[in-house]
């Protein structure tokens, strides 16, 4: 299989899987238990938190483990709306956020909030000036992602934070950094965001684990789950020790050669762009700068057909977010792409292990698809 869909999820390295299995079998104690096996499990959770926090660039006590990026996004937005309820009910976000953010905002709208959805330019970019313009006295939350999962565009979170500070806004700043963590270097403690969502399975960890960074302005946050008081009373529930150990191991492995890996991924992306643009009818979509995501379009050739045909040949790419499951992407819609371009968008995404010969195979398969069919639009 040629796997070129690392923005959807990533392969789990054997070492991570071994860590997960070893923890499941040998360290199955409940971290709340008051005997050595429990204390051992508790220490393992603490070590995992330390490792992930270090990679994120914050103190361990600022990080709460969750079950996924979606959970982190939902919680961040709801807690910000709850915190600001006496100040206002206005949210600023973008029209190209992941559905975990958009759907939560829509639900809050049904509950009485109002939301402004900033539209990107044709290249997929959002500016801090747009946020400044949308900001109101009653804005309680600004939620802008760090890296768009479909276009690969990197949004200016630091600049947006500066806008909020300069305006003396009480709004919290949330960023969905699920696609940015360990792909686009940043430190949580200097990015300027109050809330940062990340997810394990985008960096080689098992599915079912994520985290939310809570900055110092987030005092007395609304707990997500009530119960036994785990995660500092913020998210009760017996800790997923094996997943957490796997998350930490994956992060440790990714950080080992991070700079080299990111440079190699950027090189692979440049190579893929050159090979794909050489195919008649292929054009680039957006100008995403993230090293692991490239969006192109074989204009007029429905992407669902391409994805399926290449998939049958063992080449995995996507038409956009895996979450759309065949529906047209709101991201391409918001970017105002031409109908034929929009219909043919393909997202190719890379990991540290992606090789040039895999890109060659993709380019050849796409060329064959193009040669064998007529555009439908």
Which residues contribute to the site for ligand PLP (CB under 6 A)?
A: 68-70, 73, 98, 100, 145, 149, 176, 178-179, 199, 201, 210, 321
What tokens does 67 get?
């079950």
Give the Å distances, CA to CA, from 304 to 254, 278, 301, 317.
32, 21, 9, 10
> How many angstroms separate the CA atoms of 371 and 3, rounded?
23
Q: Give the nearest distance from C-beta 151 to ligand PLP in angstroms.
A: 11
> How many angstroms separate the CA atoms of 174 and 192, rounded?
9
> How many angstroms separate the CA atoms of 353 and 313, rounded?
20
Q: Give the nearest distance from C-beta 377 to ligand PLP in angstroms.
A: 27
Instruction: Give the total residue count for the chain.
Output: 377
Q: Give the nearest distance from C-beta 8 to ligand PLP in angstroms.
A: 6
Q: Give the nearest distance from C-beta 215 to ligand PLP in angstroms.
A: 19
Q: Is the Cβ of residue 188 or residue 282 nearer to ligand PLP in the bound state?
A: 188
Q: Is the dihedral of CA 64, 66, 68, 72 positive or negative?
A: negative
| Site of tokens 């999962």 | 149
Catalytic residue, chosen from 21, 68, 105, 323, is 323
Burial 285-306 (b: 16+ CB within 10 A, else e): bbebebbbbbbbbbbbbbbebb
Q: Is the Cβ of residue 41 or residue 141 nearer to ligand PLP in the bound state?
A: 141
Q: Is the Cβ of residue 144 or residue 337 nearer to ligand PLP in the bound state?
A: 144
Q: Is the Cβ of residue 149 or residue 230 nearer to ligand PLP in the bound state?
A: 149
C-beta separation of 184 from 148 below 8 A = no
Is residue 323 annotated as part of the catalytic site, yes or no?
yes
Q: Give the nearest distance from C-beta 318 to ligand PLP in angstroms.
A: 10
Q: Give the nearest distance from C-beta 288 to ligand PLP in angstroms.
A: 12
Taking residue 339's Cβ as centre, other Cβ atoms within 10 Å add up to: 10
| Site of tokens 């992060």 | 251
H or E segment to which residue 144 belongs: none
Q: Is the Cβ of residue 67 or residue 305 nearer to ligand PLP in the bound state?
A: 67
Q: What is the DSSP string of 197-261?
A: EEEGGGTTSPSS-EEEEE-TT--SPPPSB-SS-TGGGTB-S---HHHHHHHHHHHHHHHHTHHHH
* Chain residue whose CB lies nearest ligand PLP: 69
Q: Give the nearest distance from C-beta 155 to ligand PLP in angstroms.
A: 11
Q: Is the Cβ of residue 70 or residue 125 nearer to ligand PLP in the bound state?
A: 70
Q: Is the Cβ of residue 198 or residue 214 nearer to ligand PLP in the bound state?
A: 198
| Segments in the chain forming alpha helices (H) | 14-26, 36-56, 69-83, 99-110, 128-134, 157-166, 188-191, 241-256, 258-277, 303-312, 330-334, 339-343, 356-372
| Residues involved in catalysis | 323
């Amino acid at each position: 299989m040629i796997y070129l869909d690392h923005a959807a999820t990533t392969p789990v390295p054997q070492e991570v899987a071994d860590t997960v299995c070893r923890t499941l079998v040998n360290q199955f104690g409940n971290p709340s238990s008051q005997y050595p096996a429990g204390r051992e499990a508790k220490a393992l959770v603490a070590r995992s938190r330390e490792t992930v926090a270090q990679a994120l660039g914050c103190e361990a006590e600022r990080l709460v483990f969750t079950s996924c990026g979606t959970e982190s996004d939902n919680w961040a937005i709801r807690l910000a709306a709850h915190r600001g309820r006496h100040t206002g009910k206005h949210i600023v976000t973008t029209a190209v956020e992941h559905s975990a953010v958009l759907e939560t905002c829509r639900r809050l709208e049904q509950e009485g909030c109002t939301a402004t959805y900033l539209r990107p330019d044709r290249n997929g970019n959002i500016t801090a000036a747009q946020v400044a313009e949308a900001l109101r006295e009653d804005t309680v939350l600004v939620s802008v992602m760090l890296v768009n999962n479909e276009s690969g565009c990197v949004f200016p979170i630091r600049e947006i934070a500066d806008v909020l500070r300069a305006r003396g806004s009480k709004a919290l700043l949330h960023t969905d950094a699920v696609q940015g963590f360990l792909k686009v270097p940043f430190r949580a403690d200097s990015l300027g965001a109050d809330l940062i969502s990340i997810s394990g399975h985008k960096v080689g960890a098992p599915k079912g684990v994520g985290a939310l960074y809570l900055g110092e302005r987030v005092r007395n946050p609304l707990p997500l789950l009530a119960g036994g008081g785990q995660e500092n009373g913020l998210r009760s529930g017996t800790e997923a020790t094996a997943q957490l150990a796997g998350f930490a191991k994956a992060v440790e492995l990714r950080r080992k050669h991070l700079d080299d890996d990111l440079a190699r991924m950027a090189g692979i992306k440049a190579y893929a762009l050159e090979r794909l643009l050489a195919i008649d009818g292929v054009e680039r979509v957006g100008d995403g700068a993230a090293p692991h995501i490239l969006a192109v379009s074989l204009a007029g050739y429905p992407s669902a057909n391409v994805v399926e045909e290449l998939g049958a040949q063992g080449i995995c790419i996507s038409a956009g977010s895996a979450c759309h499951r065949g529906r047209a992407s709101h991201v391409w819609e918001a970017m105002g792409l031409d109908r034929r371009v929009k219909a043919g968008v393909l997202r190719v995404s890379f990991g540290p292990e992606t090789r040039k010969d895999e890109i060659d195979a993709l380019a050849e398969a796409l060329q064959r698809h193009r040669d064998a069919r007529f555009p439908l639009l």
